[in-house]
Amino acid sequence: MRFLTAFAFISLCSLSFSQQPEENMTKDGYLIRVKGGLKTVRINIHFMLKSDGTGNFNEKNDGNGRPYSGYDYARDLVYYMNAQSIQNVQLNIPEGNEIPVLEKNYRYVLDAVYFWRNDSTYLYNTINYAKQGRDKDSVMNIFLSHGTANLGGHASSVSTVSHYKYTENRSYWFSYSGNKAKGSADGDLWTQALNTSHEVGHLLGLNHTVLQPNGSPCPGGCKGGTINANCDDGCADTPSAWEILDANGCTTHPGCGWSGGITGKIDCSNNLMDYTGMFALSPCQIEKIHRGLENGLKSYLQCAALSDDVSFKNIGYPKVSYFGRNVQIVDSRIEYKEKIKIYYSSSVELNNFEAEAGTELEIILDNECSF
Ligand SMILES: [Zn+2]
C-alpha cells in the first residue's frame, strides 16, 4: 500500500460568532438573553448490527450494497440535525400568536461512529449503555437499533445536571432502505434527523409540550376534567393541551401525531417536542437549552473540549473529531476514505503524520467557551 506522506486536504477556517450577549425584546418587553452565542454539542452515533454484520449500515456500505457507509450516513444525519437547529419557525398555536421566533443558536458535531455486531443488542430496546456508551461525560450517545415500526426512540434523561445522556432510536435503517427502494434520493434522511433532533431535545432538558412522557396525548381537561400537572413542560410560552382544547371548543387535540405539524392542520402543534415532524422551539425552550449547556451539561460542549492541551496518537476512525487548545498529533496515519477533523483554539502540530490518498484532514480554528 502506498501512502502520500504528510499530504492531505487541509483547510483552515475560522468560525466567527458573537462574544456579546444577544438580546431579543418581545412586544411585551420580555427580555430573552442568549448568553455566549453558539453552542455545539458533541454526539456519537452507534449502529447496532446483527452478529453476522448485516441489518444496518456498516463501515463500507449502506447494508444494501450501496457505497454509502455508516460514516457517510452519520455525517449526513448530523448535517440535517444542524439544518433543523439553524431554522426556527413561528409556533402555530395558539393561532395568531406573536411569540418571538428566536435563533436556537445550538448545533451538533459528530464525535465518533461505532458499529456493534451482536444479535443481543440489535433490536430496539436491547442496547447496553453501560457497556456500549462512549465518553459518557462529554459526548451524548445516539444508538440506532432495529425495528420495523415507525421511526421512534426514547431518551435517558431530561435532567440538565445528569451525565446519563443517551437516546436509542429505532427503524432508521428500515426506513432508509424502504425509502431508497421507492426511489428516494437519500432514504428520507430528513425525517430520521427530525426524530433524532427530538430525542436529543429531551437530553438537552426539554419535555413534550402537548404529549405525556410516553408520547400519549396530555389530557385536555375539557368537559369538567382536571389538569394533569405531569403534562406541564415548564414553559409558559408553549400552550398546554388544556389551553388549546379550551380555545378550539374541545374539538381537536394538538398532539396529532407524525406529520400533523407538517401538513399545517390547525391546532396540531408544530413544536419540535411534539411528534408532528416540525421543529419550532419557543423562547423558553431555547433558554432552557442554553442554561443547561452553560451549567450542568457544559462538559458536552465542543468549546469545553477546546480548553485543554492534548496529544493524540494513532488518530482515525472510529473517532472523526478531535478537540483541544494546543493539539499535538503524533505517529498517525489516516487511511481508506477516513475524514478526520481537528478543532483547536490555539495551535496544531503534526509529527510523523501520513495520509493515504482519498482521505481528508480538516483543521478548524474555534474558540473556547465565552460564558
Ligand atoms: Zn419525545
Domain count, the chain: 2
329 by Cβ neighbours in 10 Å (0-12 / 13-18 / 19+) ranks as buried
What is the 71 CA–ligand 1 centroid distance (Å)? 26
Q: Is residue 325 part of a domain?
A: no
Are residues 218 and 128 both part of a single domain? no
Q: Is residue 139 part of a domain?
A: yes
What is the 18 CA–ligand 1 centroid distance (Å)? 32
Q: Which residues contact 125 (CB under 8 A, 6 or more apart)?
A: 145, 168, 170
Position 171 scores a pLDDT of 97
Are residues 153 and 35 both part of a single domain? yes
What is the 345 CA–ligand 1 centroid distance (Å)? 35
What is the 192 CA–ligand 1 centroid distance (Å)? 14
Which residues face 290 on adjacent strands? none
338-359: buried (b, 16+ CB within 10 Å) or exposed (e) per residue? Answer: bbbbbbbbeebebeebbbbeeb
Are residues 200 and 218 both part of a single domain? no
Are residues 107 and 152 both part of a single domain? yes
Look up the domain containing 200 and give its range.
Answer: 17-206+281-299
Are residues 105 and 158 both part of a single domain? yes
148 by Cβ neighbours in 10 Å (0-12 / 13-18 / 19+) ranks as exposed
Are residues 198 and 231 both part of a single domain? no
What is the 208 CA–ligand 1 centroid distance (Å)? 6
Position 330 scores a pLDDT of 96
Q: Is residue 35 part of a domain?
A: yes
**Cα–Cα distance for residue pair 338/291, rounded to 1 Å:** 35
User: Can you give the CATH number for the domain in which 167 is found?
Assistant: 3.40.390
What is the 211 CA–ligand 1 centroid distance (Å)? 8
Please give the single-letter amino acid code of residue 177: S
Residue with cell 492531505: 8
Q: Is residue 351 part of a domain?
A: no
49-74: buried (b, 16+ CB within 10 Å) or exposed (e) per residue? Answer: bbeeeebbbbeeebbeeeebbbbbbb
What is the 39 CA–ligand 1 centroid distance (Å)? 22
What is the 139 CA–ligand 1 centroid distance (Å)? 20
Decide: 172 and 150 in contact? Cβ < 8 Å.
no
CA angle 167, 105, 102 (to 5 degrees): 110
Q: What is the full DSSP assignment across 106-170?
A: EEEEEEEEEEEE-GGGTBTT---HHHH--STTTSEEEEEEB-SSSSEEEES---SS----EEEEE
Full-prediction pTM beyond 0.85?
yes
Are residues 108 and 147 both part of a single domain? yes
Total residues found in the chain within this entry: 371
Q: What is the full DSSP assignment across 248-276?
A: TTT---S---TTTTTTT-TT---BTTTTS
Are residues 106 and 46 both part of a single domain? yes
What is the 13 CA–ligand 1 centroid distance (Å)? 36
**Cα–Cα distance for residue pair 287/366, rounded to 1 Å:** 23
Residue spans of the chain under pLDDT 70:
1-36, 223-230, 259-265
Q: Is residue 22 part of a domain?
A: yes
Are residues 199 and 217 both part of a single domain? no
Q: Is residue 328 part of a domain?
A: no
What is the 220 CA–ligand 1 centroid distance (Å)? 18
What is the 199 CA–ligand 1 centroid distance (Å)? 6
Q: Is residue 191 part of a domain?
A: yes
Q: Is residue 4 part of a domain?
A: no
Are residues 38 and 169 both part of a single domain? yes
Residue 90 cell numbers, joined: 413561528
pLDDT digits (tens, 9 = 90+) for 243-287: 888 777 888 888 887 766 666 667 788 899 987 788 999 999 999
Are residues 179 and 225 both part of a single domain? no
Are residues 22 and 52 both part of a single domain? yes
What is the 215 CA–ligand 1 centroid distance (Å)? 6
**Cα–Cα distance for residue pair 161/168, rounded to 1 Å:** 20
